[in-house]
C-alpha cells in the first residue's frame, strides 16, 4: 500500500508519476519527513478523523493537486515571493541541497528521486557541487530548522485548532 513505511521505518513506499513506478518506489524517510508526517497525522485526526484521503479538504473530498501551486502563484503575483516557485521544483531543490550537503553524490540522489539518468539530470538542473563538499567539507544541513520553530509548532501548541471559516461554503463543511 502506498505511504507504507518499510519495516525499519527508513523509507516509505510511494507511487511515482511519469511512468517511473518501477524506478525505486521508495522515499527516504528522514527525520524531517517523520516529523512532518507525525504532525500531519495529528492535524488530520483532529479535523478529518473519518477521511480516507491523505490531504482531505474542508469542502469534502480531497485537496486538489494544484492547491499549493495556485497559492504559490498567488503569492508571487502579490509580490510576497520574488520568483515563481512550484511545489515540485521547490521540494526537489531542497531535497537535492540537503542530500548534497550530507556528502551524498548526485548519482545516489538521482536514484533516490527515481531518475535513471545516473545523476546527469541532477547536475544539469541544479548545477555543480562545490568542490569542498565532495572532499568531506560539506556542511551537513538539517532537514528541520534549528533556529526557528517548526512551521506547524503554533498549531500543535493550540491543539491543532484552525482559524474559523471565512465564508459560508466553509461553514457548511
Q: Half-sphere exposure of 18 toward its Cβ, with a 13 Å CA cutoff?
A: 5
Buried b (16+ CB within 10 A) or exposed e, 31-63: ebbbebeebeeebbeeeeeeeeeeebeeeeeee
- The dihedral sign for the CA sequence 100, 101, 103, 104: negative
Q: Residues 67, 124, 77, CA angle at the centre, nearest 5°?
A: 30
What whole-number distance in Å separates Cα of residue 26 and Cα of residue 23? 9
- Cβ distance 16 to 114 under 8 Å? yes
Tell me how crowded residue 113 is: count the other CB atoms within 10 A of its CB: 20
- Cβ distance 30 to 143 under 8 Å? yes
Which helix (DSSP H) or strand (DSSP E) does residue 78 occupy? none
Instruction: Give the per-residue pLDDT at 20.
Output: 58
- Comparing CA positions, the residue from 112, 109, 117, 114 lying closest to residue 19 is 114
All cell numbers assigned to 143? 532537514
All cell numbers assigned to 159? 491543539
Instruction: Give the per-residue pLDDT at 54.
Output: 77
SS3 state of residue 81: coil
pLDDT block averages, 10 residues each, the chain of length 173: 77 71 76 88 88 77 76 90 85 93 92 85 91 90 93 87 55 48
What whole-number distance in Å separates Cα of residue 113 and Cα of residue 106? 10
Instruction: Give the per-residue pLDDT at 29.
Output: 87
Amino acid at each position: 500500500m502506498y505511504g507504507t513505511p518499510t519495516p525499519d521505518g527508513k523509507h516509505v513506499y510511494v507511487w511515482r508519476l511519469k511512468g517511473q513506478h518501477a524506478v525505486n518506489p521508495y522515499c527516504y524517510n528522514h527525520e524531517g519527513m517523520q516529523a512532518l508526517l507525525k504532525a500531519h497525522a495529528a492535524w488530520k485526526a483532529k479535523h478529518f478523523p473519518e477521511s480516507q484521503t491523505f490531504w482531505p479538504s474542508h469542502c469534502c473530498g480531497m485537496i486538489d493537486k494544484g492547491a499549493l501551486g495556485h497559492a504559490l502563484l498567488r503569492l508571487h503575483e502579490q509580490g510576497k515571493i520574488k520568483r515563481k516557485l512550484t511545489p515540485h521544483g521547490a521540494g526537489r531543490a531542497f531535497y537535492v541541497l540537503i542530500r548534497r550537503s550530507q556528502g551524498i553524490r548526485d548519482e545516489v540522489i538521482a536514484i533516490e528521486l527515481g531518475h535513471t539518468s545516473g545523476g546527469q539530470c541532477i547536475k544539469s538542473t541544479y548545477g555543480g557541487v562545490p568542490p569542498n563538499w565532495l572532499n568531506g567539507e560539506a556542511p551537513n544541513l538539517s532537514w528541520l530548522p534549528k533556529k526557528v520553530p517548526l512551521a506547524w509548532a503554533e498549531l500543535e501548541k493550540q491543539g491543532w485548532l484552525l482559524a474559523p471559516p471565512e465564508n459560508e461554503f466553509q461553514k457548511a463543511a
